Structure 1
Amino acid sequence: MREQRPSAELLRCRAQIARLSEDVEAVAVRRGRDRGESWDVMSDALALSRDRLRKKWTLEIFDRRMGRRPSPPQPLSTNAGITVFIPQQRPPDTHRDGTPETDTGPEPNGSPPTYPHPSTPTQLLASALSYLQRRSGYTLRHLASDVRVHPSYVSRILNGERDPSWEVTAGLAVACSADAADLLPLWNAVHHVATPSPSTPTQAVNLYRAVLRGLHLAAAAPSPQAICEASDYSLTTTDIVRALNGPRIPDWPTTQHLVLALRGRPADLYTVWQIASSSPGTEVTTISAGAFG
């Protein structure tokens, strides 16, 4: 004879299954965001709108649902498959360097144009985050909700008035569908954290690209033609595309001109460039013939 269970028991089972389903959805969404997966892809899988899914699973809602308390910083997996470990940072609002750095390393070959002073580390990081916010189209309130801070704090970060923690920096990058690894060199410079020396040429190549991508974001992702013009045509668009995207590593003069055009400090990249350019199988291209006229 068929077992007859009370309807209330069946409904309790249904409620439990629904709670578990919601928990799985919450974890999957936050996992996807930590990996840099887009809201569009995940919302399509759930047959929800992008905005509805974002509002449904903010960090605050997720933490409240999972009953999670603040925990020590954990490694962050990035789009590039690189695990970024959150470094120790200096105390907030101390030793802020408002003086532009002028050390650019060995002078570029040829007759370089007169570049403006490099931006300060705080200016570069703020500019990169500000560009990502504009590109994403999200309001400050929306991003602040994602990273669990006040909108006014996000505004001060984007204006260069506050130096954010790595957790907030990475959270803003992920919320804007960007790779947090590209911001780590900029963040390290702001907080005076020495970037670990690459132990292999492959790591050096990855770091070399990350530094250039970070500077590129800080400059609001200008086109190769715009960078070419900023360098007073010391670089060609081919030089710039190769430097930013690979697979080749440009020579040091090309690297210097590119970093200066993006208002960075070439000296910060010199050691990494040396290791990266020595990678077996890595072709080092020289600056294009006739680039100096």
Structure 2
Amino acid sequence: MPAHQSDKSPRPGPAVDYDRAARCLDAARDIAEDCAIVADELSHKMCMVSSVSVADQLARFTDLARLAEEGISALVVAQSSEGKPLAVLAPVLGRTEDRVRKKYPPGKVDTALSHRRRPERALMAAQPPEEATVAKKTLNRLRTPIQRQACALSRMQAEAGVQQRTLAAKMHVDPSLVSRYLSGERQASWGQAKTVADICGRDAHLIKPLWDTATGVLPPAEHAAEALRAYLRALRYADGAPSQESILASTHHSITSAELAQAFHGPGTPAWTVVRHVTMALFGLTDTAHQLCRLTRHTGRPSGLSAEAFG
């Protein structure tokens, strides 16, 4: 008799979708940052046991659990979307490979991640709500690229000893307009910003990264690493060119001098935590730096995930 043949066809391999994998990896990194925010708030609340209810504390733990599940789903789908087997992840999750596949359908997870809302860091509890809101808005406004650009232009003017009226005359504009450029009240065109630099005898490329970010201009992915380094160098210039020791002190020595040097000059791109510390120390917005960091990850196909990524 002929040998019995199974009617079951072999299970097809996972569909490769590198764009989805990249989206999920970005989401996982965002979720990791969100976990830090919620954990920080939870730690603060746990130190205020007398004034914070158990229900409120429990709510933060619940938020962390939800974020952890979102992070797991993002990493699982990133793995499968790269065409990598889920078998290496199943033991970490305590499930069979088939159960992992069914629990995290790529399309559903991808859609859910695209609609997730990120938590906001709580304002300083010591301040009244209205004062904390004003303080936060003022601080963020001073960190914006247009304000950093204004600081850089003002530094160029001060170093050159050129009066605003002189700048205005050579630019053929009203002095009040120059004043608004230098205060950050108005965004200068690149031609105008470059003219200020030229009149002051300074290199316009020092401020070009700030102008690019202020106007929403992003570099091609293949040039993102150098653009990120140039942006950090521009922040340093706008902040008065603080010394390496001063920057390290501002980060509370959370990074090393070698990591700081890499952030400014390469080679490659340092870890996001390094970029974040440097950006904050130089009074920039981390969201802007994060955009550039993300671009550096898209210069090629996403890297594979190992089981160690889960724990």
Query: TM-score scaled by structure 2?
Result: 0.46
Larger radius of gyration: 2
| TM-score, with structure 1 as normaliser | 0.49
More helix by share: 2
